[in-house]
Amino acid sequence: MKIGFHIGAHETDGDRLVKSLLRNRDTLDHAGVFVPGPGRYRGTLRDAAVRMRGDVADADTEESLLDAILDGATPDTLFLSNSSFISVPEMAVGENQLYPRMFKAAWLRNLFPSHSVTFHICVRDPATFLPSIYQTVARDKSFVEFTGGIDPRRLVWSAPINQLLQSVPDADVVLWCYEDTPLIWDEIMRAVCDIGPDVHLHGIYDMARQVMNDEGMPRLRNYVAQHPPANSAMRQRIITAFLDKFGVDAALEQQIPIEGWSQALMDDLTTIYEEDLVDIAELARVRIVTR
């Protein structure tokens, strides 16, 4: 069996991916993909990972965990999702990098030594990721305290991705960019489930709906019903056109009131992010889902 761990990142889809997949539970079951509700496994896996702390599970432990998750199902692929599999959002920045506890990917992998494992992660431009996660968790901390005083320009995604690859040398990584998600939601859903275009999926516009006003989504659905896109490129062009007209600016581009935060800094972070993605794309065992 293939096991996919969707590990976030925080402030990317807000559990939207697992919700979209659960809309297709029967279809995915028929395709050999099992997507359990998060309540069935999040606490169980957290407790087991903390207890084992990276030790390789014996056969009885592995079987017990799978019995609790699968509830009699015998899929080819199992999809598990939790943005806090690696760390809580309060610890997303530390030790001068993003997600310094990415080594905990091995804790998850070693719970299921008899099965192949893939890690799925959505990355986001630090120009919006850092302010977003800071506002979610900071409470009484200043932004400088939250980041440990590091220059935000040094916080690149290649650091945790490399740490992930080193921690789980027998696992692949599927990665995509938050900024692309409204356009490639269909491709993402298929990538994490390892299914082809022949499987019909509902919910392929779910992320577009998150960044579109109330008028736009019904119009988009009506348009694609009358003019079904022939391929993914055409679908993406249609979504882009509707986002241009009906996109919600606040969702597409956050305005962040943080001391010392400037447009110049955000521009620097975006440039570094784009360059970093080029480096990540060259890493072995990493597949990037793109437009």
Q: Assess contact for 5 and 80: CB atoms under 8 A.
A: yes
Predicted local distance difference test score (pLDDT) of residue 251: 45
CA distance 233 to 93: 36
Q: Report pTM.
A: 0.95
pLDDT, tens digit, for every residue of 43-73? 999 999 999 999 999 999 999 999 999 999 9
pLDDT, tens digit, for every residue of 20-37? 999 999 999 999 999 999
Closest among 273, 263, 256 to 138, alpha carbons compared: 256
Region 82-96: what's the mean pLDDT? 96
Element (H, E) at 232: helix 232-246
CA distance 183 to 260: 32
Architecture of domain 2-204+268-289: 3-Layer(aba) Sandwich (3.40)
